Amino acid sequence: MGEIPIQKRIGYTDKVIDHFTHPRNTGKIEDPDVTAKVGSMACGDLIKLYLKINPQTSKVDDIKFESYGCAANIATSSVMTELVKGKSLEEAKKVTFKDIAEELGGLPKIKMHCAVLSKTGLDAVLLKYEVKKGLTKVDEAFVRRILRGVLDPVEGTDIVSAGIVESLEITDKITIKLTINKGSELAKTIEEDIRESFDGLDINLNLVFKD
């Protein structure tokens, strides 16, 4: 007998391997309605999504992704795009991380966070589209949901759950007070990721770090 492929040895299904080796809907949309980036290059899992909505039907005309990460990261992003393509906005919102994992025939527990990250990316790109179209207001709930796509590269959890976001204030700008020291390498990484997570929206961000 030949050697068992490493993907099989760590518990990946045939469908995970298929979507990893032949991912669907990869690359960029040249003129997207909106983009969203979740994850962090520094912690090894990152997804950037490109979305195009049909203005007449409010359905997902096209969705593509770029991914940096493991096999599960690529496979969950690939199958997520298949699940939402052609769906209405409301239908796309209802896709859960469990749906993504189940569509792949399951994931090892240690890789379930990849399905969660794909769902977080989907939530972010749909929310940003709704804000751009005036369908959703920019409030604290919206900001916190976008920030859940920004990961602490040290802990690998989102910066809201990690306690890095100390407080939010929304006036004519969004002021985000953070618990990390200004000028540190971590602060530079987090600032870049936060600003990119809101990219494409007409929002004035004020990030306040500890002195």
Q: Dump pLDDT digits (tens) for 10-24.
A: 679 999 999 999 999
Cα(47)–Cα(150) distance, integer angstroms? 11
pLDDT score recorded for residue 21? 93
| Co-location of 57 and 129 in the same domain | yes
| 144 part of a folded domain | no
114 is catalytic: yes
pTM reported for the whole predicted model: 0.90
Sorting pLDDT into bands at 50, 70 and 90, what band is 6? low
Question: Domain end: 101, 136, 171, which one?
Answer: 136
Mean pLDDT confidence for 142-166: 92
Q: Structurally, how many domains does the chain consist of?
A: 2
> Could you tell me how far CA 104 lies from the centroid of its own chain?
18
Q: Are residues 74 and 30 in the same domain?
A: yes
Q: 43 and 130 in one domain?
A: yes
29, 43, 70, 201: the active-site residue: 43
Q: Tokens 């804000």, residue?
A: 131
Closest CA to 196 of 184, 188, 88: 188
For the question of residue 70 being annotated catalytic, the response is: no
Tell me whether residue 142 is in a domain: no
CATH number at residue 61: 3.90.1010.10
Q: Are residues 71 and 157 in the same domain?
A: no
How far is Cα 106 from Cα 97, in angstroms, rounded to an integer?
11
Looking at the structure, tell me whether residues 94 and 125 fall in a common domain: yes
Q: Is residue 143 part of a domain?
A: no
pLDDT of residue 3: 46
Same domain, 199 and 124: no
CA 28, CA 22: separation in Å to the nearest integer?
Answer: 16
pLDDT at 146 over 90: yes
- For 38, 98, 199, the CA distances from 192, given in Å and listed in that order, are 12, 30, 11
Whether the predicted pLDDT of 5 surpasses 60: no
* Beta bridge partner(s), residue 49: 36, 65
| Active-site residue, selected from the candidate residues 42, 47, 63, 114 | 114
